[in-house]
Amino acid sequence: MIEKSYVPRVTIHNVETGVGTPVEAHMVRGLDEFSEAWEPQLETPSPMLFEGWQMSDDEHPPGGGRPGYRIVYKTLRTIVVPQARLEMPNLLVTFTNGEVTIGRPIFHGTLDSRQSGHFIVPEWGSVTPDDGGRGMQYEFTVNTDVHIEAAQDTYPACNYVEVLYVLNDGVPSTYEASMSAGRAGIAPFTATLDLSYGDRLLGPILTEEVGELFDDWHWNRRLGGRTVALESQAKMRTISGHQLVDALRSVVDRQLGLTEQSRASARVAAQWYWEAESQSDPGLGFASYWLVLEALELGENANIRPLRLAFSAMLGCNEDDVKEPLGRLYGERSGLLHGNIRAVDANEVAKVRVLAGALLHKHLLGDVSDDRVKEVRHVLLP
């Protein structure tokens, strides 16, 4: 008899019985490689991606269906009578009553990051006086524990609308790309329902998921799209409190000296910047970063020459040198906003993020740091 080998760091927890079951070693992949590759003293902690499946069975194995999207709305004291079902080759919409099962990964002991769906394991510590009160000491405990639970719950019986949608071929397989494609695919349909019947039919969202659908409309839930990072992985950094306050006071004084229109443009641009930073949808993130540029330089002008002039002055180059790369990014912006293109590459989002950050830095602080100029140069003058 062959003795089974288990990984002591990994268990499957049954939420109904409370019993933890060890996992055989051959079923755990990448844990040792991650432990060996984990590096401390990084500028930014490295995100780890969690992936898994729920609702699968022998007849509906993971990977055996078609990529799909699911969203369930609870109605607000509204009942569809008789219960109804609309079925099309790539869409099933059910207006019914019953229990609704949902699932999600939970990262215990984490904090929400700035971007939706991303979490960080915090490091806790205290700053105390040291050396007779002339210095400070940070006392902390390195925290590298990641506790992940694949939770599954069921809401009590209620009136709800469930939309199951088969994604089009060619959609990238990442969780976020699938979510974006699902939202975009059903948006005209759900908007039609909302405009026709009001916000009581499509009430609170009980769950929004991606996964896969089978010919019998069985749903396999994909647990993913969420990352976790360890704060203790980052290197320690200190900032002078005196210099920080002096710098911020200078920024505030500078803003007060600007015209009301300039301050208004900066406020709008900063709001678009934070909207972009919180976006998990790459297309909406790209568009929001681009609107930072428009708010700061274009106003109501559709001509992007002011952007070419701003960035060529920042880089110390000719306006024509940045015309092609800026024009290409503007073309992507127009395609996104007018519906001609839907998907946008993460690298393109990163490029327009660099431009938005640099230009906002210039308008808020009056100059641009050398590091930001180097990033802009890499984007526009590769």
Write down the pLDDT at residue 109: 92
Cβ pair 49, 71 in contact under 8 A: no
**Residue 53 confidence (pLDDT) above 80:** yes
Classify residue 12: in a domain, yes or no. Answer: no
Question: Which whole number is the average pLDDT over 320-339?
Answer: 92
Q: Which backbone phi and psi does 231 adopt, to 5 degrees?
A: -60, -35
> How many domains is the chain built from?
2
Same domain, 306 and 175: no
Same domain, 289 and 369: yes
How far apart CA 245 and CA 248 sit, in angstroms, is: 5
DSSP tag of 158:
E
Cβ pair 332, 302 in contact under 8 A: no
How far apart CA 89 and CA 341 sit, in angstroms, is: 24
- The whole-model pTM stands at 0.79
Which pair of structure tokens corresponds to residue 70? 């699911």
Same domain, 224 and 260: no
Digit-coded pLDDT (tens) for 163-219: 999 999 888 888 888 998 999 999 999 999 999 999 999 999 999 999 999 999 999
**Residue 2 confidence (pLDDT) above 60:** no
What beta strand segments (E) does the chain contain? 6-13, 20-24, 48-54, 66-74, 84-88, 91-108, 111-112, 118-121, 125-130, 135-140, 147-166, 205-213, 219-230
Query: Could you tell me the maximum CA-CA distance found in the chain, to the nearest angstrom?
Result: 82
Digit-coded pLDDT (tens) for 82-107: 999 999 999 999 999 999 999 998 88
Q: How confident is the model at residue 22 (pLDDT cuts 50, 70, 90)?
A: confident
Classify residue 14: in a domain, yes or no. Answer: no
Phi-psi domain of 13 (left: phi exceeds 0; alpha: psi -120 through 50; beta: other): beta
Q: Where are the alpha helices (H) located in the chain, listed in sequence order?
A: 31-37, 175-197, 241-256, 260-278, 282-293, 305-315, 323-337, 346-365, 370-380
Same domain, 218 and 299: no
Q: How far apart are the first and last CA of the chain?
A: 61
Q: Which of 233, 262, 278 is the last residue of a domain?
A: 233
**Residue 372 confidence (pLDDT) above 70:** yes
Classify residue 271: in a domain, yes or no. Answer: yes
How far apart CA 54 and CA 103 sit, in angstroms, is: 8
State the amino acid at position 121 in one-letter form: V
- 137-141, 276-280, 300-304, range with the lowest pLDDT: 300-304
Same domain, 50 and 121: yes
Task: Report the SS3 class of residue 369.
Answer: coil
**Residue 114 confidence (pLDDT) above 90:** no
Digit-coded pLDDT (tens) for 27-40: 666 666 665 666 67
Q: Which of 217, 233, 249 is the last residue of a domain?
A: 233
Same domain, 210 and 352: no
**Residue 74 confidence (pLDDT) above 80:** yes
Same domain, 226 and 325: no
| Beta carbons within 8 Å of 52's beta carbon, 6+ residues apart | 105, 150, 222, 223, 224
- 321-330, 337-346, 352-361, 366-375, range with the lowest pLDDT: 337-346
Write down the pLDDT at residue 10: 66
State the amino acid at position 76 in one-letter form: L
**Residue 317 confidence (pLDDT) above 60:** yes
- Give the CATH number for residue 364: 1.20.120
More confident: 284 or 341: 284
